Amino acid sequence: MASQTRTTLSVLLIPLLLSLLAASAQAGSIAVYWGQNGGEGTLADTCATGNYQYVMLAFLTTFGNGQTPVLNLAGHCDPPSGTCTSLTSDIQSCQSRGIKVILSLGGATGSYQLTSTSDAQSVADYLWNNYLGGNSSSRPLGSAVLDGIDFDIEGGSSDYYGDLANYLSQYSSQGNKVYLTAAPQCPFPDTYVGPALQTGLFDYVWIQFYNNGQCQYSSGDTTNLVNSWNTWTSSIKATNMFLGIPASPSTPGYIPPNDLTSQVLPAIQGSSLYGGIMIWDRYADVQNNYSGQVVGSV
């Protein structure tokens, strides 16, 4: 009897141990930017792939300095005429899969800057009432409550973004947590979100290792990328950091899927802050099936 019990136990335990090992070897997530190309498919279909745990809606291109904020989702819908409210059910379907849907502020083009602490406070209030847990008669995406705000600040100035992060984080006490994320460039410190990141208030930081010659991957050479990764992970307090990479082979810094899984990920996955990868963007991922090829190794 005793030996039978032991046999039964090991039959049960070995698969459990193996699955725990597999889970710890693939502990990362994939984040993706959606919204800047009407040809990338719907938000609901993006989430239904099962490849992503975070989707950033790109971008709120105008805000701050007293301007009326403007959402730009390229060919997907037209915020001024109210057609983006149809995204409410897509957002909710993503969230029902456990995917966090986050509004991204900024982007490479746009008209944004914060001019004072009170400007930062009014942008925070606007975001809370129009995209998060507050209310307003003109919510651009309808009644869906987004999970957080992403800072993809690539122009203007670095001023008052720390205040914006602070005001947004104070809203977390009024119900659902407001996740704060950021997409700095890989040269450290980042010109625009560097000071805000010093607040330590950010949950996830997806560092852009592309369009940045001095710290991106270049054909077989991981040295600059790994040095930069180590600087980021030893300098900034955050819950997790993600390797931001392009899904398009024509974007500088592109890492072929085989190189990612055999050379780059093994060099950074040992970091306790490693959270996974961020992909720019969903359109290029559709074209190249990048996430589909690497999802098992992230």
Ligand X SMILES: *[C@@H]1O[C@H](CO)[C@@H](O)[C@H](O)[C@H]1NC(C)=O
Q: List residues binding ligand X (CB under 6 A).
A: 134-135, 289, 292-293
Cα 62 to Cα 5, 59, 70, 114, 155: the distances in Å are 66, 9, 5, 11, 12
Q: How far is the CB of 179 from ligand X (least distance, A)?
A: 19
Residue nearest to ligand X (CB): 292
Nearer to ligand X, 5 or 173 (CB): 173
| Catalytic site positions | 154
Q: How far apart are CA 69 and CA 174, in angstroms?
A: 23
Query: Please, are residues 186 and 228 in contact by the beta-carbon 8 Å criterion?
Result: yes
Nearer to ligand X, 186 or 286 (CB): 286
Nearer to ligand X, 42 or 293 (CB): 293
Q: How far is the CB of 217 from ligand X (least distance, A)?
A: 21
Q: Which residue has the tokens 């049960």?
A: 12
Nearer to ligand X, 55 or 247 (CB): 247
Nearer to ligand X, 211 or 293 (CB): 293
- Strands 54-63 and 70-71 turn out to be antiparallel
Q: How far is the CB of 289 from ligand X (least distance, A)?
A: 4
Nearer to ligand X, 197 or 298 (CB): 298
Which of 58, 54, 14, 51 lies closest to 35, judged by CA? Answer: 58
Q: How far is the CB of 279 from ligand X (least distance, A)?
A: 13
Q: How far is the CB of 135 from ligand X (least distance, A)?
A: 4
